[in-house]
Amino acid sequence: MNKKNKKYIYLFFLFFSIVFFSCHNRKEGQLKGKVVLKTEQKVIPKTVYGIYLDSLQVKKGTIKRNQHLSDILLKYGVKYATIDYLARYTKYVFDVRRIKRGHDYAVFCKKDSLATPVWFAYQISPSRYVLYHLIDSVYAKQGNKPVERKLVATQGTIKSSLWNAMIAQHNDPELAVKLSDIYAWTIDFFELRKGNQYKVIYQKVYVDHHYAGLGKVEAADFIQKNVHHYAFYFVQKGKGDYFDEKGNSLERTFLKAPLKFRYISSRFSNHRWHPILKIYRPHHGVDYAAAEGTPVHSLGDGVVIGKGYQRNGAGNYLKIRHNSIYTTQYAHLSRFARGIRVGVHVKQGQLIGYVGHTGLATGPHLDFRVFKYGRAINPLALKSPPAKPVMAQYRPAFDSIVRRYMPVLDSL
């Protein structure tokens, strides 16, 4: 090889080396400043109510007043025979007569010239829905949307009512109803005072990232005259209940009956023959036959809210409100116990009156009535709350809940 050829070969390798290292260093400098990763991006098909929308179009709506399933589906061309089949043979999944005004629905149609309806979805609740398949094999099934629960805490001071206090703090006012139920046996919410305070740790429920309502109240504290009324939710033997910090149930029991009676002379009825008026009419109470002057006792703790005389009815009667849920009435009394008047607080088993036959009565007896949320119920079917404390074997688990939530409540 002559010198001239060697020179060209040397120059070629020199040029190649310069280009190679120059490119390598530039690339290395780029990588040092920014790491570039190549990844395959998965396309996740969009679904609604678990249905893939790649070949379907969705038409949404809200149930209107007096609107039925047939009113909706006939408009989309679904055959009446199909609608009738769904109404008749899918009741075990969901009864279409329970479709309610204001609830959302969706119709899934093919992307063809006829816009053939394939699915119909009805929103039973924010998290539950029923899905109807409208072509080929017609059937129905229920489903649930994923539910997200967030634990939050709130507190407030009562100026007029618990409901208004919730609104002032921008809380869901239904929380006032939950607290009323929890403390129904402990606090008289009809006699709340200005300055009473509440503190609550509870769940907020979200569906599709939208607020869907209240979840469970985990712990609460209601403060009256600097006295703390704690409530902690705890499950024992598969049943959840609310207890104070010492493990005692917030519920209370009722007496089995308000007096010692001989026998039941008349039971709860919507159609009873009245022995004096000689007509059929409702008798929303239980008549306990007993001797004149037999002592009558309050079924539970409460406040006297009614006392008087009805000539053509109950005769001497008393009405006692026990909490925001239950009220009891005692009628045909011969006389009232000393000190019993409207506004007086009475204890369970306290003497309130004596059996008589005042008003419309053929003989001495007590006409006893129970009202739940203002509606008369059968006193003999009244289920008295268990009022059992936390059992010994569950006490360590309960104490851990108290230690977890009490400091949070106190710090609010």
Per-residue pLDDT reduced to its tens digit, 112-129: 888 999 999 999 999 999
Per-residue pLDDT reduced to its tens digit, 302-333: 999 999 998 878 899 999 999 888 999 999 99
Identify which of 52, 77, 93, 57 has the alpha carbon closest to the alpha carbon of residue 134.
Answer: 77
Identify which of 102, 59, 52, 64 has the alpha carbon closest to the alpha carbon of residue 78.
Answer: 59
With a cut of 50, say whether residue 220 has pLDDT above it: yes
**Structure tokens, 389:** 């404390």
Report percent pLDDT > 70 for the chain.
84
With a cut of 60, say whether residue 221 has pLDDT above it: yes
Q: Give residue 36's pLDDT band: very low, low, confident or very high (50, 70, 90).
A: very low
Identify which of 116, 131, 138, 141 has the alpha carbon closest to the alpha carbon of residue 48.
Answer: 131
What pLDDT is recorded for position 160?
86
In this structure, what are the phi and psi dihedrals at residue 265, rounded to the nearest 5 degrees? -90, -20
Average pLDDT of the chain to the nearest whole number = 85
Mean pLDDT value across residues 55-74? 93
Per-residue pLDDT reduced to its tens digit, 233-250: 999 988 899 999 999 998
Mean pLDDT value across residues 155-171? 90
Q: What are the residue boundaries of the structural domains of the chain, listed by start?
A: 47-144, 148-243, 263-381
Place of tokens 């309502």: 213
What pLDDT is recorded for position 31?
37
Q: Give residue 40's pLDDT band: very low, low, confident or very high (50, 70, 90).
A: low
Alpha-carbon span 186 to 248, nearest angstrom: 12
With a cut of 60, say whether residue 70 has pLDDT above it: yes
**Interior angle at CA 388, CA 386 and CA 390, nearest 5:** 140
What pLDDT is recorded for position 34?
45
Q: Is domain 47-144 given the CATH code 3.90.930.60 in the classification? A: no
What pLDDT is recorded for position 275?
61
Alpha-carbon span 249 to 215, nearest angstrom: 21
Alpha-carbon span 188 to 253, nearest angstrom: 16
Place of tokens 């009324």: 229
**Structure tokens, 190:** 């009809």
Q: Is domain 263-381 given the CATH code 2.70.70.10 in the classification? A: yes
With a cut of 50, say whether residue 202 has pLDDT above it: yes
CA distance to 305, 306, 354, per residue, from 344 (Å) = 8, 10, 18
What pLDDT is recorded for position 33?
44
Q: What is the pTM of this model?
A: 0.66
Q: Which fold has domain 148-243?
A: Nuclear Transport Factor 2; Chain: A, (3.10.450)
With a cut of 80, say whether residue 22 has pLDDT above it: no
Amino acid in position 123: Q
Amino acid in position 113: S
Mean pLDDT value across residues 350-378? 91
Q: In DSSP terms, which residues pair with 75 in a beta bridge?
A: none
Q: Give residue 48's pLDDT band: very low, low, confident or very high (50, 70, 90).
A: confident
Alpha-carbon span 369 to 321, nearest angstrom: 12
Q: In DSSP terms, which residues pair with 157 in a beta bridge?
A: 197
Domains 47-144 and 148-243 share a fold: yes
Mean pLDDT value across residues 149-174? 91
What pLDDT is recorded for position 27?
44
Residue pair 361/274 in contact (Cβ under 8 Å)? The answer is: no
Q: Provide CB contacts within 8 A for 342, sequence distance 6+.
A: 304, 305, 306, 307
Per-residue pLDDT reduced to its tens digit, 246-292: 999 988 778 888 888 777 878 866 655 456 555 555 677 888 988 99
With a cut of 50, say whether residue 187 has pLDDT above it: yes
What pLDDT is recorded for position 259?
84
Alpha-carbon span 402 to 54, nearest angstrom: 51
Place of tokens 């089949």: 85
Mean pLDDT value across residues 213-240? 93
Q: Give residue 29's pLDDT band: very low, low, confident or very high (50, 70, 90).
A: very low
Helical segments of 111-207, H only: 162-168, 174-182
Lowest mean pLDDT among 26-40, 94-108, 345-359: 26-40
